[in-house]
Structure 1
Amino acid sequence: MLYFINDYSEGATPEILDKLQESNLSKQAGYGSDEFCISAKEKIKEAIKTDAEIFFVSGGTQANKIVIGSILKNYEGVIAADTGHISVHEAGAIENTGHKVFGLKSENGKLAADTVKRFCRDFYADVNHEHMVYPGMVYISQPTEYGTLYSKNELEEIRSVCAEYNIPFFIDGARLAYALGSSECDTGLEDIARLCDVFYIGGTKCGALIGEAIVFTNKRLSKHFFTDMKLFGAVLAKGRLLGIQFDTLFSNDLYKKLGKKGVDAAMKIKKALIEKEYELYIDSPTNQQFIVVDDVTRDRLSKDIGFGFMETLSNGKHVIRFCTSWATENEDVERLISIL
């Protein structure tokens, strides 16, 4: 059986495992004060080319919940795409903090600046808006849940709307390595850091065993964030586990290399899908490829391939996903193509 279900089926890149083994018996301070966390933070700041407050947590939903829950006032909600992770795949984690998610209509998984501006404008135009939940943040994912990418211009436009309404801009980077690894991506880490107030660098889906690095470039928003992490149960006594991994990922350009490997494998699959005349559901330039299939094709492929199910369309056909990762081998890609 071939596995193209997700990008976290494997463990961790060998470089991380080697470093964990090598440092296993070294005595370190706890709670993120160890030398590895300190070193990782410095390397990340060097990569984004600006100062920042950086915190490590174990997973993406945890990162989203703590960031949003710690920044928003109790009468505020967060604006997101209707296909965004916090809108559909986090079991109400954000709502559990007492904050509403405003799921606005997206196109190709992306939230347009005009959509955000219209929502905010209409909110403040309502004479009863003081009786309502305020828009208090904009959240997007780069890449999106459908593998698409925001251009630098699109990010700048969203940033401009956020500045106009004085609300922070938060970018979920759970798969950020696969954005950076795409030839169609015109934004680097320094651009992400410049254009938003807070973002996180995904490790779990990008070569680490676990871990996300939350980066506050607007340091005013990070006041008492460590205490909020503790409140949400996110502070690891053995913080070194996360520090070692990000210290390794940000050595020798490994993070970007891992992302590019995953994207290169996905582009080979995409080319074969087009040549074999499969219907692409969306034009994704990253590690997730989506196609539309009927029952017969779905059942045939599922005999030999593990893939992700996304949704059933109104015509009865299904959207399925092939997802590559930092660990995808060319041999598996070739076998997949032969089965297609």
Structure 2
Amino acid sequence: MRSFKNDYSEGAAPEILAALVDTNGEQTVGYTEGDPHTERARALIREACGQPDAAVEFCVGGTSANLICVAGMLRDFEGVVCTPDAHINTHETGAVGACGRTVLPTHDGDGFLSVEEAERVWGFQTSCGRHMTRPTLVYITDSTEFGGVWDRRRFDEVCDWAEGHGCKVYVDGARLGAALESPANDLSLGHMASRADAFSIGGTKNGMLFGEAVVIRDPDLRRDFPYLQKMRGGLMAKGRLLGVQFEAAFEDGLYWRLARHADECALALRDGLMAAGYEPYLRSDTNQQFFTVDAGLARALEDACGCEIFLTLPDGRQVVRFVCSWATETADVAELVAFCSEMPR
């Protein structure tokens, strides 16, 4: 059975791989500094975002993009407000803390940063003046770590709160394609780009071998990003490999087609498992799907299709995560649904 563990198990979409092969013999300057493919990718991304004056930089992976942006938008005594499940708070091995910056998690439990919790953290952190880390940045993820999609109303509420409290906004878009192509989405790339101070566009989890693009409006980060990237070990000598991939992805809408396909497969999987009697943990309309099962079934599913045991609940049941990618086929989904339907529960 095909693995449903994550959306980066395969190599690259054929169109991306073909672009890399076709340009393999070219000689260009390095470090994403002026080669024609990287410059074309920058132009395409600016056009898609409606931000002709934004800086567009390229990182090898999501952790690199996150720590450079977060560290670059904060001073030593400032902190970033995020949900407890946020990647910078869980799966990045303290990268932000190692840069001398502080992560300030809320108590939100559904993957969405709420204005109420942001206000609580703000109030606590500012209650003792210079003796506490000052919140100066808001970090959100779209889609969320639980597959949720930020709608425009909720996104604007957080941006309005941040603006009113003198905070900048950074969006981790490791799965931005899945979010914006979701049928539940009403937030356009252009609107998000007009309000976020910086955000990433994930390629690693959407059909590329590797790579994240970072779109920057914040003038301080725009100035400092190239230096921070080099200092943090995130600058790639063969930078044109990043440019070639994003150029191919954004030239004719391939990036969005790949994300849409992953979402469609995941929603078919969700509907099939629900019809078979499985209980969703939280509603997801993207390529990640979460279901609550007993511990024995969780282990059996993990062995069969690689799905990840994501959480253990207080009653001992476990939340398993299934992830679809650009390479998932409808037949793969049907096979998994049939298998799950026959499992004793």
TM-score bracket, shorter-length normalisation: over 0.9
Residue 29 of structure 1: SS of its match in structure 2?
A: coil
1:303 Cα deviation (Å)?
4.2
SS in 1 for 2:307: strand
Query: 1:274 is matched with which residue?
Result: 274
Between 1:39-48 and 1:112-121, the stretch displaced more is: 112-121
Query: How far apart, in 2, do the equivalents of 1:47 and 1:299 lie?
Result: 42
Output the CA distance in 2 between the equivalents of 1:280 and 1:26: 49
Say if 1:169 and 1:196, in contact at 8 Å, map to a contact too.
yes
Counterpart position of 1:221: 221
Answering whether residue 38 of structure 2 is matched by residue 64 of structure 1, we say: no
Q: Is the 8 A contact 1:181 1:261 kept in 2?
A: no
> Is contact 1:77–1:135 with CA below 8 Å preserved after alignment?
yes
What is the alpha-carbon root mean square deviation over aligned residues? 1.2
What is the identity, as a one-letter code, of the residue corresponding to 1:202? G
- Quote how far apart the aligned CAs of 1:331 are: 1.4
Partner residue, 1:154: 154
Rounded to whole Å, the distance in 2 between the matches of 1:304 and 1:122 is: 46
Report the Cα distance in structure 2 between the residues aligned to 1:281 and 1:306, rounded to whole angstroms: 18
Number of corresponding residues: 338
How far apart, CA to CA, are the structure 2 residues paired with 1:297 and 1:285? 24
Could you tell me which residue of structure 2 aligns to residue 38 of structure 1? 39
Structure 1 226/303 Cα, relative in aligned 2: closer, same or farther at 3 Å?
Answer: closer
Q: Is the 8 A contact 2:69 2:221 kept in 1?
A: no
Preserved contact between residue 80 and residue 136 of structure 2 (Cα < 8 Å): yes
Deviation at 1:306, TM superposition (A): 1.2
> Which amino acid counterpart does residue 226 of structure 1 have in structure 2?
P
Residue correspondence of structure 1 range 221-260 to structure 2 within 5 A: 221-260=221-260
Corresponding residue number in structure 2 for 1:95:
97
Q: CA deviation at 1:132?
A: 1.2
Give, in whole Å, the separation in 2 of the partners of 1:81 and 1:49. Answer: 29
* SS across alignment from 1:223: helix
| 1:216-239 deviation per Cα after TM superposition (whole angstroms, max 9, x unaligned) | 023343112101100011111111
Q: Which amino acid aligns with 2:38?
A: C
Equivalent position amino acid for 1:280 in 2:
P
Equivalent runs, 1:172-211 vs 2, <5 Å: 172-211=172-211
Q: 1:119: how far off? A: 2.4
C-alpha displacement of 1:122? 4.0
Shift of 1:300: 3.4
Q: Under a length normalisation based on structure 2, what TM-score does the superposition of the two structures give? A: 0.95
What 5-or-longer segments of structure 1 have no aligned partner?
none
Question: Residue 38 of structure 1 aligns to which amino acid in structure 2?
Answer: E
- Cα pair 1:53 1:219 within 8 Å, conserved: no
Q: Look up the match of 1:110.
A: 112
Partners of 2:311 and 2:86 in 1: CA distance: 15
Query: In structure 1, what is the equivalent of residue 290 of structure 2?
Result: 290
Residue pair 1:52, 1:219 contacting (<8 A) in 2 also? no
Give the SS at the match of 1:161: helix
Matched with 1:47 is: 48
One-letter amino acid matched to 2:147: G
| CA apart distance, 1:118 | 3.2
- The SS at the match of 1:140 is strand
Q: Residue 25 of structure 2 aligns with which residue?
A: 25
Tell me how far apart the structure 1 counterparts of residues 106 and 124 of structure 2 sit (CA, whole Å): 13
Query: Aligned partners of 2:318, 2:326: CA distance in 1, in Å?
Result: 27
Q: Which runs of 5+ in 2 are unaligned?
A: 341-345
| Residue 320 (1) aligns with residue 320 (2) | yes
Aligned residue in 1 for 2:343 = none
| Alpha-carbon distance change, 150 to 107 in structure 1, aligned in 2, over 3 angstroms | farther
Letter in 2 for 1:82: P
User: Could you list the per-position Cα deviations for residues 37-82 of structure 1 after superposition, in whole angstroms to 9, with x for gaps in the alignment?
Assistant: 1000000000001120010000001111111112211111111101
- Please state how far the C-alpha of 1:333 moved relative to its aligned partner: 0.8
Alpha-carbon offset, residue 129 of structure 1: 1.7
Q: Tell me the CA shift for residue 31 of structure 1.
A: 1.1
Give the distance between the partners of 2:3 and 2:184, measured in 1 at CA.
Answer: 26
CA distance in structure 2 between the partners assigned to 1:15 and 1:135 by the alignment: 43
Residue type of the alignment partner of 2:86: G
Equivalent-residue separation in structure 1 for 2:74 and 2:39 (angstroms): 28
Paired residues of 1:208 and 1:245 also in contact (CA < 8 A): yes
Structure 2 distance, partners of 1:176, 1:199, is: 10
Conservation of the 8 A alpha-carbon contact between 2:125 and 2:133 = no
Q: What are the Cα deviations for residues 189-226 of structure 1, in whole angstroms up to 9, with x where unaligned?
A: 10110121000000000111000001102334311210
Classify the secondary structure of the residue corresponding to 2:306: strand
Deviation of the 1:166 alpha carbon = 1.3
